């Protein structure tokens, strides 16, 4: 297992290009299965989760070609014949569960492993399954698998998501576009990832009303055609690097290839820290404030503060001049990074689903452990501002969601290098 060795504190100065979005690409890849002809997706990041999903889709018999240098992914569903997504792959990446909606939607049949939990606790799929039952599908659970079947035309109906769920919205849209007479999703997610999926399904020939709102109405069409689609830039990577650019008082970073419209209310909240931010087309310039103003936040569904930036924000607040709190209303226990930042000297305490932070503290280098994707990157942010040497262990979590992270950070002055444990074992 690899680790990062990071020397701090260092200011960040320079330009970072934003990569394609993992969470926007995955639904588009699942949608490609619904087409009768090949789909090409551009701006796809070289990430573990993309490779994993490529393999999940290949298991069905689809042809998947990923030109990593171009970031172009071609999916040809012509030879799709195996209507299954196996546990050994689904357990690696929860979004593989999108295969349920895609296979059921296209073929009326699917056998898909239930996803595991993840580092911060259970992540249920009850809304996915209840929504499919409401639509008219037959859903059985057998030995950790969902066995689903549906007639050529399900009657459809109306299903309210409580709470609103990105994954359930994706799965219900994928299952209904070819197979539900009329299906309405209330309290549907309207994250940019979902809006992009729905817009591209319409380009493929689907009939979806209410795109960009919390009520989606889908009417089945007989077939869909493959398309060429540009994947969105990663809005969570953008927010992560905006935060990175505000943590050291001398930092000045420019982010390029940004989809600014996908950032929701985040820029407005970010400005409250005192950071100087200018937005021009697909470029954001950040100059760190002399002093970070403590800014408390509560995560919300889009366009509110994203839960995927919660850990990064809390870490930045260790450098703010005063008290602040960060509440996660989406995941109540997504705080596994807190004890690790405390090891670096952070003054933080978790009470129920809120972390209370006292700044400004001078963080000091230490060895810390990654536990999940977003927690890991918050440890990298902390280590870059900490005094002395830090090690961030188990960075395979990071490789799931941040493309070329150490190269991007090194290019703006961070003292960060990747050490593979095997290499270390050899030298000891």
Neighbours of 285 (CB within 10 A): 16
Residue 275 or 297 having the CB closest to ligand EPZ: 297
Binding status of residue 238 toward ligand EPZ by CB under 6 A? no
Q: In what order do the strands lie in the sheet with 276-280?
A: 13-17, 252-256, 283-287, 276-280
Binding status of residue 237 toward ligand EPZ by CB under 6 A? no
Q: How many residues are recorded in the chain? A: 428
Distance CA 135, CA 172 (A): 9
Binding status of residue 21 toward ligand EPZ by CB under 6 A? no
Q: Which two tokens stand for residue 117?
A: 């939990």
Please, how many CA atoms are within 13 Å of residue 231, restricted to the half-sphere of its CB?
Answer: 31
Binding status of residue 188 toward ligand EPZ by CB under 6 A? no
Give kind and range of the element (H or E) at residue 4.
strand 2-8
**Which parts of 381-410 interact with ligand EPZ (CB under 6 A)?**
401
Neighbours of 67 (CB within 10 A): 12
CB 182 to ligand EPZ: min, Å: 22
CB 424 to ligand EPZ: min, Å: 28
CB 375 to ligand EPZ: min, Å: 9
Binding status of residue 308 toward ligand EPZ by CB under 6 A? yes
Instruction: Identify whether 198 is a catalytic site residue.
Output: no
Give kind and range of the element (H or E) at residue 194.
helix 192-204
Q: Is 336 helix (H, G, I), strand (E, B) or coil?
A: coil
CB 44 to ligand EPZ: min, Å: 14
Binding status of residue 83 toward ligand EPZ by CB under 6 A? no
CB 26 to ligand EPZ: min, Å: 5
User: How many contiguous H segments (helices) and E segments (strands) does the chain have?
Assistant: 15, 24
Q: Which of 14, 46, 109, 118 is catalytic?
A: 118
Residue 128 or 190 having the CB closest to ligand EPZ: 128
Binding status of residue 160 toward ligand EPZ by CB under 6 A? no
Distance CA 252, CA 242 (A): 10
Q: Given the rule CB under 6 A, which residues bind ligand EPZ?
A: 23, 26, 94-95, 123-128, 163, 165-168, 189, 193, 307-308, 330-331, 373-374, 401
Active site residues: 118
């Amino acid at each position: 297992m690899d680790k990062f060795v990071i020397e701090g504190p260092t200011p960040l100065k320079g330009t970072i290009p934003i990569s394609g979005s993992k969470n926007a690409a995955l639904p588009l890849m699942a949608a490609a299965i619904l087409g009768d002809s090949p789909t090409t997706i551009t701006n796809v990041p070289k990430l573990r989760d993309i490779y994993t999903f490529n393999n999940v889709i290949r298991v069905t018999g689809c042809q998947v070609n990923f030109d990593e240098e171009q970031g172009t992914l071609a999916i040809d569903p012509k030879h799709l014949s195996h209507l299954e997504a196996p546990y050994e792959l689904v357990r690696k990446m929860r979004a593989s569960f999108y295969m349920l909606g895609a296979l059921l939607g296209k073929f009326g049949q699917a056998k898909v492993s239930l996803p595991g939990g993840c580092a911060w606790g259970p992540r249920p799929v009850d809304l996915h399954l209840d929504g499919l039952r409401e639509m008219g599908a037959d859903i059985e659970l057998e030995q950790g698998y969902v066995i689903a079947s549906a007639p050529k035309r399900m009657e459809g109906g109306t299903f309210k998501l409580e709470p609103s769920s990105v994954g359930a919205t994706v799965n219900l849209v994928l299952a209904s576009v070819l197979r539900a007479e009329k299906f309405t999703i209330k309290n549907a997610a309207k994250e940019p990832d979902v809006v992009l999926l729905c817009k591209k399904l319409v380009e493929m020939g689907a009939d979806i009303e209410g795109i960009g709102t919390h009520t989606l109405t889908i009417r089945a069409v007989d077939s869909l055609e493959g398309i060429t689609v540009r994947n969105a830039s990663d809005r969570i990577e953008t927010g992560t690097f905006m935060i990175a650019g505000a943590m050291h008082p001398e930092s000045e970073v420019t982010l390029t290839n940004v989809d600014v419209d996908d950032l929701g209310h985040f820029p407005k909240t970010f400005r409250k820290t005192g950071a100087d931010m200018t937005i021009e087309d697909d470029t954001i310039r950040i100059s760190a404030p002399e002093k970070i103003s403590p800014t408390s936040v509560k995560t919300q569904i889009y366009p509110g503060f994203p839960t995927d930036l919660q850990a990064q924000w809390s870490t930045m607040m260790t450098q703010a001049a005063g008290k602040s709190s960060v509440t996660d209303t989406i995941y109540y226990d997504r705080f596994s990074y807190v004890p690790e930042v405390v090891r670096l000297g952070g003054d933080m305490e978790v009470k129920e689903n809120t972390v209370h932070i006292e700044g400004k503290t001078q963080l000091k280098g230490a060895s810390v452990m990654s536990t999940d994707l977003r927690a890991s990157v918050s440890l990298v942010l902390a280590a870059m501002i900490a005094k002395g040497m830090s090690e961030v262990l188990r960075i395979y979590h990071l490789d799931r969601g941040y493309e070329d992270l150490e190269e991007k950070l090194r290019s703006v002055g961070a003292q960060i290098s990747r050490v593979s444990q095997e290499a270390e074992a050899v030298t000891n």
